[in-house]
Amino acid sequence: MPLVRSLSVTSLLEDWDEEFDLEDAILFEIAWEVANKVGGIYTVIQTKARLTCEEWGENYFLVGPYMESNVRTQVELIEPSNPALRRTIDKMNSSGCKVYFGRWLIEGSPYVVLIDVGFTAWCLDRWKSELWEHCGIGVPWFDREANDAVLFGFLTAWLLGEFAAQCEEPPHIVAHFHEWLAGLGLVLCRQRHLPVATIFTTHATLLGRYLCAGNVDFYNNLSEFNLDKEAGDRQIYHRYCLERAAARCAHVFTTVSKITAIEAEHLLKRKPDIVTPNGLNVKKFSAMHEFQNLHAQSKARIQEFIRGHFYGHLDFNLDKTVFLFIAGRYEFSNKGADIFLEALARLNYLLRVNHSEITVIAFFIMPARTNNFNVETLKGQAVRKQLWDTAHTVKERFGKKLYESLLVGQLPDVSKMLDKEDFTMMKRAIFATQRQCQPPICTHNMLEDSTDPILNCIRRIGLFNSSQDRVKVIFHPEFLSSTSPLLPMDYEDFVRGCHLGVFPSYYEPWGYTPAECTVMGIPSISTNLSGFGCFMEEHIADPTAYGIYILDRRYRSVDESCNQLTSFLYQFCQQSRRQRIIQRNRTERLSDLLDWRYLGNYYMCARHMALAKAFPDTYIYEPHDPTATQGFRYPRPASVPPSPAHSLHSSPHHSEAEDEDERYDEDLEAEKDRVNIRQPVTLPYRNKSLTPLPEKN
In this structure, the answer to whether residues 403 and 450 fall within a common structural domain is: no
In this structure, the answer to whether residues 430 and 475 fall within a common structural domain is: no
CA 287-288-291 angle, 5° bins: 90
In this structure, the answer to whether residues 411 and 312 fall within a common structural domain is: no
Q: E strand or H helix at 93, and its extent?
A: helix 83-94
The residue-averaged pLDDT of 384-392 equals 89
Could you give the CA distance from residue 85 to residue 168 in angstroms, rounded to a whole number? 12
The parent domain of residue 389 ranges over 375-437
The residue-averaged pLDDT of 45-70 equals 95
Inform me whether the pLDDT recorded for 650 exceeds 60. Answer: no
Give per-residue pLDDT as tens, 344-366.
999 999 999 999 999 999 999 99
In this structure, the answer to whether residues 388 and 419 fall within a common structural domain is: yes
Inform me whether the pLDDT recorded for 693 exceeds 50. Answer: no
On the CB side of 182, CA atoms within 13 Å amount to: 26
Inform me whether the pLDDT recorded for 477 exceeds 50. Answer: yes
| 694/229: higher pLDDT | 229
Inform me whether the pLDDT recorded for 303 exceeds 60. Answer: yes
Count structural domains, the chain.
3
For residue 254, being part of any structural domain is answered with yes
| 16/468: higher pLDDT | 468
Give residue 325's identity as a one-letter amino acid code: F
Name the E strands within 218-311.
252-255, 274-275
In this structure, the answer to whether residues 419 and 454 fall within a common structural domain is: no
In this structure, the answer to whether residues 190 and 115 fall within a common structural domain is: yes
Burial of residue 563 (CB within 10 Å: 0-12, 13-18, 19+) is middle
Give per-residue pLDDT as tens, 103-162.
999 999 999 999 999 999 999 999 999 999 999 999 999 999 999 999 999 999 999 999
Inform me whether the pLDDT recorded for 289 exceeds 50. Answer: yes
For residue 632, being part of any structural domain is answered with no
- Percentage of the chain beyond pLDDT 70 is 86
CATH number of the domain that 294 lies in?
3.40.50.2000
Cβ contact 207:227 at 8 Å: yes
For residue 684, being part of any structural domain is answered with no
Give per-residue pLDDT as tens, 604-645.
999 999 999 999 988 886 655 433 334 445 666 655 455 444
Report in angstroms the alpha-carbon separations of 264 from 248, 254, 269, 530.
11, 9, 7, 14
**Mean pLDDT over each residue of the chain, to the nearest integer:** 87
In this structure, the answer to whether residues 97 and 179 fall within a common structural domain is: yes
Residue that terminates a domain, selected from 281, 306, 340: 281
> Residue 674's pLDDT is what?
62
The pLDDT confidence band at residue 428, using thresholds 50, 70 and 90, is confident
Residue that terminates a domain, selected from 281, 309, 330: 281
- Percentage of the chain beyond pLDDT 90 is 71
In this structure, the answer to whether residues 239 and 320 fall within a common structural domain is: no
Inform me whether the pLDDT recorded for 695 exceeds 50. Answer: no
For residue 658, being part of any structural domain is answered with no
Q: Which of 409-418, 453-462, 622-631 has the largest mean confidence?
A: 453-462
For residue 3, being part of any structural domain is answered with no
In this structure, the answer to whether residues 272 and 346 fall within a common structural domain is: no
DSSP, res 335: T
In this structure, the answer to whether residues 393 and 318 fall within a common structural domain is: no
> Residue 422's pLDDT is what?
84
Residue that terminates a domain, selected from 260, 281, 302: 281
For residue 289, being part of any structural domain is answered with yes
Least confident range of 198-207, 453-462, 584-593? 584-593
> Residue 20's pLDDT is what?
57
517-552: string of b/e by CB count within 10 Å (b at 16+)?
Answer: bbbbbbbbbbbbbbbbbbbbbbbbbebbbbbbbbbe
Inform me whether the pLDDT recorded for 456 exceeds 80. Answer: yes
Inform me whether the pLDDT recorded for 657 exceeds 80. Answer: no
For residue 665, being part of any structural domain is answered with no
For residue 467, being part of any structural domain is answered with yes
Helix (H, G, I), strand (E, B) or coil at 405: helix
β-pairing, 548-551 with 524-527? parallel
In this structure, the answer to whether residues 268 and 291 fall within a common structural domain is: no
Could you give the CA distance from residue 468 to residue 315 in angstroms, rounded to a whole number? 10
The pLDDT confidence band at residue 21, using thresholds 50, 70 and 90, is low
In this structure, the answer to whether residues 317 and 466 fall within a common structural domain is: yes
- Counting every residue written for the chain, the total comes to 697
> Residue 680's pLDDT is what?
43
Cβ contact 205:267 at 8 Å: yes
The dihedrals phi and psi of 202, each to the nearest 5 degrees, come to: -100, 125
Which of 120, 80, 118 shows the shortest CA–CA distance to 100?
Answer: 80
Residues with Cβ within 8 Å of 273's Cβ and at least 6 positions away in sequence, in order, are 252, 253, 254, 606, 609
